[in-house]
Amino acid sequence: AQKITQTQPGMFVQEKEAVTLDCTYDTSDQSYGLFWYKQPSSGEMIFLIYQGSYDEQNATEGRYSLNFQKARKSANLVISASQLGDSAMYFCAMRDRNNNDMRFGAGTRLTVKP
């Protein structure tokens, strides 16, 4: 069965600094996709970045990058140059071949300090 683990319930970062949000996963499938979503207080889930299990390079999208370590089954999100608007809940998610649905970790609440 799929399992996504986010061990940091809350994180603080100073504005303009970088922060890493941890995510580990467990799957028996060789083909899977890893996703990160941001959820501001409004509730809507906003897609940030995707990494495929066969992708050799780490995914990047603007200030977001994904530190993918396949052997360790980790997919950490790195946010560079944090902004006040980055304060939100962040969820790691996975979709694999066995389960078409997307499963989520417990989330990390990020607070950016001015």
Partner 1 sequence: KAGVTQTPRYLIKTRGQQVTLSCSPISGHRSVSWYQQTPGQGLQFLFEYFSETQRNKGNFPGRFSGRQFSNSRSEMNVSTLELGDSALYLCASSPDPGQGASNTEAFFGQGTRLTVV
Contacts to partner 1 by CB under 8 A:
29, 31-33, 35, 37, 42-47, 50, 52-53, 91, 93, 95-97, 99-107
Smallest distance, partner 1 to C-beta of residue 101, A: 5
HEC string of the chain equals CCEEECCCCEEEEECCCCEEECCEEECCCCCEEEEEEEECCCCCCEEEEEEECCCCCCCEECCEEEEEECCCCEEEEEECCCCHHHCEEEEEEEEECCCCCCEECCCEEEEEEC
Instruction: Give the span between the Cα atoms of 110 and 8, in whole angstroms.
Output: 9
Closer by beta carbon to partner 1, 107 or else 110: 107
Smallest distance, partner 1 to C-beta of residue 59, A: 11
Smallest distance, partner 1 to C-beta of residue 73, A: 15
Closer by beta carbon to partner 1, 35 or else 112: 35
Smallest distance, partner 1 to C-beta of residue 61, A: 12
Closer by beta carbon to partner 1, 15 or else 29: 29
Closer by beta carbon to partner 1, 38 or else 82: 38
